[in-house]
Every structure is written in structure tokens, then in C-alpha cells.
């Protein structure tokens, strides 16, 4: 067998293993009994140059760009479709097919479904497969114990027996997490559950996804704060994926992603109800901007102002009531019932008039409905 030179990374792992064995070696006491010795771990350090030149393995992805190896949380409110997304991901990775338009690295997948009975799980899998053969690399479990019992031992045993496993999904994590101890903080509770799982991902080089529920209260400004135990989870996990909507009735949702090994981003996804499948629509910011532009271009108020500016040789001055009357003539309908409603919408479109059509707006001096607004085309 050809000898391979050890890398810095290999040497570090050897040193750590030797120290682990030393710690577990008992010491014989004078009375002939044994006692384990707890040695202080040596402080390992590297200079900045050594760190940059080290042979640490590169970041590996299960799904290009969006899902890396490590401990990951996938969260959403109940009945939002997170389990469908998780099962769709499991099938995609096990078969090596794209997931939401991103390439996957094919590997073994263990999907632990603790939400559904076997009959429901079988029905859902058939829907996701949509007539395709089930991938050989996908294994499913529908019954499990808690982490207080044999969860960690069983998962470890499975990973030892299935070395090609690259993805494990636990849906939902609340069903297997350790019971919170009396007087234990939420922060400590999360860390006592996440620490052994994090070590598992590092030992077996896998992506372990914990499906979790969101809080009932919703903060639209920060989707990650809606995850139960979010403060501790942000620190204990490597990555977070959150599905959220402004309104539960919305057909589209936003998939927010953040983490140590992925670039923070937001995507707009659509749940295809007939196929029970999530579909990628695109970058959330770009889609929101496109929606805003379409709304702007189709607005009767905007069309009226643009025509008034054009017919005025690049400028127009008038009150809100004047604009409403002009719209009746130009658009053939009354765009607003009252000057107040028109004024509210005008405020929304004023910055867009300058962005999309280079039309500046000059505020009236006293700001009431009878005050004149001036619109002026730039670069005339």
C-alpha cells in the first residue's frame, strides 16, 4: 500500500485521539483500587500564518450554496409546509436530483418522521416521488425514543453501519429532545440537546437537520427570532432555515437562510398544492422589487401624474383634488373616493417616480389637501 504523508489536519486528529485515550486510562492507587485521571487538555493554538496555510478540509455542501454539512435548524409555523420541504429535500439528496433549483451531492439519507403514522408517511412519500422509483439511498423511520433513552446510541449505530450517509433529518426535534431540567434556562436546555448532535455531525461529516416549530407571535422584521429558543439556537447551530409568510393565506412564502457556512439570503418559494411540492421563484428581494415595479406601472395614479408631466412640458403643479379630476378624464374612472386616500397612495409612489421615471416631487408648504404639489421631470 502506498504511504500517504500526514497533513496538519491528520496530525491534529491523532493528537486529540491520543489525549482522549490518556484521559480514559485509570491510575492505580496505593490500596490497589483504580481511579480515572482527568488530565487538563493542552491548549492548541496556531499563528495566523499557520492557520491560513493549514490543510483543514473545505466546506462541504449537501445542497450547493444553501445547505452545508453541520447542525441545521429548519423552522416554520405549524401547517406551513416545512415537513413537505424536508421530505422533498430527502428525496432530492438520496436521488442526486436538484432541490429548489440547486445541485445536490448525492448521498445516503435517514429521514426520521415523528409527526406522521406509517400510512400517512407512505402516502406523502408516494406524492413526492410522483411515480418515480424510490431512491435506494433513502431510509425512513416513523417511531423513535427520546434523547434521554437510546436516540444518540441508535443514530450513532446507524451511521456506523451506513458510512455513505450524508444527511439526517429529524422531523420534529421537539419529539426527541431531552426534557428540560428544573430551574434550567432555555439557553442551557438548547445547548444540552445540541452539543452531542453537533459532535455527531463533525465525527461523521454529515448534515443533520432538526425540523422545529416557530413561536405563535410573529416578528416580520426578523424571521429568525420567531424560532422557539432562537437566541440559543442561533449560537448552537451552524445554519438556520426559516419558512415564513406575512399572511397564512399567501400562496408564496419566504425561505430565509443564515449561518456560519452559507451566505445570508432570502428566496421566494411557492407551494404547488396539486403536486405538494415547493418551487423556487427566485431571490426574494428581486421578486419583491419586480412586484413593486409592476404595481407602480399599472397604477392609475402614476399613469395620471406621468401624463400630466408630459403634457406640461416636463412639469405639473396641482392639488390632490386636481389630480383626481384629471384621472377621471385621462383614465376614464375616478381613482380614489377621497383626497385623503389619494394622498396616502401618492406618498408611497413619490420615491418610485424618481427611481423609475426621474420625476421629482416638491412638497406643498402647508401639507393639507388643498395645497399644490409640484412634479418636475429631471434632465428635461
From the CA atom positions of the chain, what is the Rg in Å?
A: 29
In the structure, what pLDDT confidence band is assigned to residue 137 with cuts at 50, 70 and 90? very high
> To which residue does cell 415523528 refer?
114
Q: What is the 3-state secondary structure (H, E, C) of 187-242?
A: HHHHHHHHHHHHHHHHHHCCEEEEEEEECCCCCCCCHHHHECCHHHHHHHCCEEEE
pTM: 0.71
Could you tell me how many residues make up the chain?
380
CA 16 → CA 99, 107, 246, distances in Å?
37, 28, 48
pLDDT at 374: 93
Q: Are 296 and 352 in contact (CB under 8 A)?
A: yes
Nearest of 88, 83, 128 to residue 109 by alpha carbon:
88
In the structure, what pLDDT confidence band is assigned to residue 146 with cuts at 50, 70 and 90? low
DSSP state of 46: -
Q: Are 142 and 121 in contact (CB under 8 A)?
A: yes
Cα(172)–Cα(214) distance, integer angstroms: 12
Query: Long-range CB contacts (< 8 A, 24+ apart) of 142-150?
Result: 142/113, 142/114, 142/116, 142/117, 142/118, 143/114, 144/112, 144/114, 144/175, 144/176, 145/176, 146/175, 146/176, 146/177, 146/178, 146/179, 147/176, 147/177, 147/178, 147/193, 147/196, 148/178, 148/179
Mean pLDDT confidence for 6-35: 63
Query: Fold for domain 61-284?
Result: Rossmann fold (3.40.50)
pLDDT tens-digit readout, 277-293: 999 998 888 888 888 99
Nearest of 164, 159, 158, 168 to residue 89 by alpha carbon:
168
Q: Are 319 and 373 in contact (CB under 8 A)?
A: yes
pLDDT at 266: 92
> To which residue does cell 485521539 refer?
17
pLDDT tens-digit readout, 229-272: 556 787 789 999 999 888 888 889 999 999 988 989 999 999 99
- Between residues 362 and 148, the one the model is more confident about: 362
Question: Parallel, antiparallel, or unpaired: how do β-strands 165-171 and 70-76 relate?
Answer: unpaired
Q: Express the helix, strand and coil content of the chain in percent, nearest 5 each.
A: 40, 25, 35
pLDDT tens-digit readout, 309-357: 999 999 999 999 999 888 888 877 777 878 888 888 899 999 999 999 9
Check whether 130 has a pLDDT greater than 90.
yes
DSSP state of 156: H
Non-local (6+) Cβ contacts of 300 within 8 A are 327, 331, 333, 335
CA 136 → CA 61, 139, 280, distances in Å?
21, 8, 26
Q: Are 342 and 336 in contact (CB under 8 A)?
A: yes
pLDDT tens-digit readout, 196-228: 999 999 999 999 999 998 866 566 566 666 665
Non-local (6+) Cβ contacts of 157 within 8 A are none
Amino acid at each position: 500500500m502506498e504511504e500517504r504523508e500526514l497533513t496538519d489536519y491528520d496530525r491534529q486528529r491523532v493528537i486529540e485521539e491520543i489525549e482522549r485515550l490518556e484521559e480514559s486510562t485509570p491510575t492505580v492507587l496505593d490500596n490497589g483500587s483504580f481511579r480515572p485521571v482527568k488530565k487538563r487538555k493542552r491548549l492548541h493554538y496556531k499563528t495566523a500564518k499557520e492557520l491560513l496555510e493549514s490543510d483543514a478540509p473545505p466546506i462541504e455542501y449537501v445542497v450547493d450554496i444553501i445547505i452545508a454539512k453541520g447542525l441545521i435548524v429548519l423552522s416554520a409555523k405549524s401547517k406551513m409546509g416545512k415537513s413537505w420541504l424536508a421530505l422533498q429535500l430527502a428525496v432530492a439528496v438520496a436521488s442526486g436530483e436538484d432541490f429548489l433549483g440547486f445541485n445536490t451531492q448525492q448521498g445516503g439519507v435517514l429521514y426520521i418522521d415523528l409527526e406522521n403514522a406509517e400510512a400517512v408517511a407512505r402516502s406523502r412519500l408516494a406524492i413526492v416521488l410522483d411515480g418515480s422509483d424510490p431512491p435506494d439511498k433513502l431510509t425512513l423511520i416513523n417511531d423513535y425514543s427520546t434523547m434521554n433513552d437510546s436516540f444518540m446510541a441508535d443514530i450513532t449505530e446507524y451511521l456506523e453501519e451506513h458510512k455513505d450517509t450524508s444527511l439526517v433529518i429529524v422531523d420534529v426535534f421537539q419529539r426527541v429532545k431531552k426534557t428540560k431540567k428544573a430551574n434550567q434556562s432555555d439557553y442551557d436546555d438548547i445547548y444540552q440537546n445540541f452539543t452531542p448532535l453537533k459532535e455527531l455531525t463533525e465525527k461523521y461529516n454529515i448534515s443533520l437537520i432538526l425540523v422545529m416549530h416557530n413561536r405563535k407571535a410573529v416578528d416580520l422584521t426578523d424571521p429568525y427570532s420567531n424560532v422557539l429558543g432562537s437566541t440559543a439556537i442561533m449560537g448552537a447551530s451552524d445554519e438556520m432555515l426559516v419558512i415564513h409568510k406575512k399572511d397564512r393565506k399567501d400562496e408564496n412564502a419566504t425561505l430565509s437562510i443564515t449561518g456560519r457556512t452559507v451566505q445570508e439570503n432570502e428566496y421566494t418559494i411557492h407551494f404547488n398544492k396539486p403536486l405538494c411540492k415547493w418551487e423556487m421563484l427566485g431571490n426574494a428581494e428581486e421578486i419583491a422589487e419586480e412586484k413593486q415595479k409592476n404595481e407602480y406601472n399599472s397604477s392609475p395614479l402614476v399613469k395620471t401624474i406621468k401624463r400630466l408631466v408630459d403634457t406640461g412640458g416636463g412639469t405639473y403643479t396641482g392639488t390632490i383634488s386636481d389630480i383626481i379630476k384629471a384621472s377621471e378624464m385621462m383614465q376614464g374612472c375616478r381613482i380614489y373616493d377621497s383626497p385623503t386616500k389619494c394622498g396616502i397612495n401618492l406618498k408611497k409612489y413619490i420615491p418610485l417616480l424618481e427611481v423609475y421615471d426621474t420625476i421629482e416631487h416638491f412638497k406643498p408648504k402647508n401639507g393639507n389637501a388643498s395645497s399644490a404639489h409640484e412634479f418636475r421631470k429631471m434632465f428635461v
